[in-house]
């Protein structure tokens, strides 16, 4: 799981049936300091996030499938990352 920032939407007219009916967002992973890293995921949105939102991402395949109510069997579906929360605030004690 990680914290990231939604940087854009992803539109795919031809895709695996697992993604039908789901909004896809490009999320840039953030470091502990809140700065962007070179890592990113294309995530299924389960919380109605939007571009510019700071989000919590579940990036483990079987956990992501469980959140969407899909079977976590090998070869069943293509979901790897799901946005599971919109972050309101982060406090890091010094």
pLDDT digits (tens, 9 = 90+) for 2-35: 999 999 999 998 988 888 888 999 999 999 888 9
Q: What percent of the chain has pLDDT over 70?
A: 90
CA 79 vs CA 10, 42, 91: distances in Å: 14, 9, 30
Q: What is the pLDDT of residue 56?
A: 96
Q: Which residue has the tokens 């069997």?
A: 73
Extract the tokens encoding 27. 């999320």
Gyration radius from the chain CA atoms: 14
Does 13 fall in a domain? yes
Does 50 fall in a domain? yes
Is the pLDDT higher at 79 or at 14?
A: 14
Q: What is the pLDDT of residue 37?
A: 96
Q: What is the pLDDT of residue 55?
A: 98
Rounded to two decimals, the pTM is 0.85
Total count of domains within the chain: 1
CATH number at residue 37: 2.40.50.220
- Asked if residue 19 lies in contact with residue 8, where contact means CB atoms within 8 angstroms, the answer is no
Domain membership of residue 15 as a residue range? 2-86
Which strand (E) or helix (H) includes residue 9? strand 2-10
Q: What is the pLDDT of residue 65?
A: 72
Does 94 fall in a domain? no
Extract the tokens encoding 83. 């946005």
């Amino acid at each position: 799981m990680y914290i990231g920032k939604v940087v854009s939407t992803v539109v795919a007219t031809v895709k695996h049936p697992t993604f039908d009916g789901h909004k896809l967002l490009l999320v840039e992973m953030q470091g502990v300091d809140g700065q962007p890293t070179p890592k990113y995921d294309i995530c299924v949105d389960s919380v109605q996030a939007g571009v510019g939102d700071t989000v919590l991402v579940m990036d483990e395949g079987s956990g992501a499938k469980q959140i969407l109510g899909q079977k976590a069997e090998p070869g069943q579906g293509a979901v790897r990352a799901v946005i599971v929360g919109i972050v309101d605030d982060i406090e890091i004690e010094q």
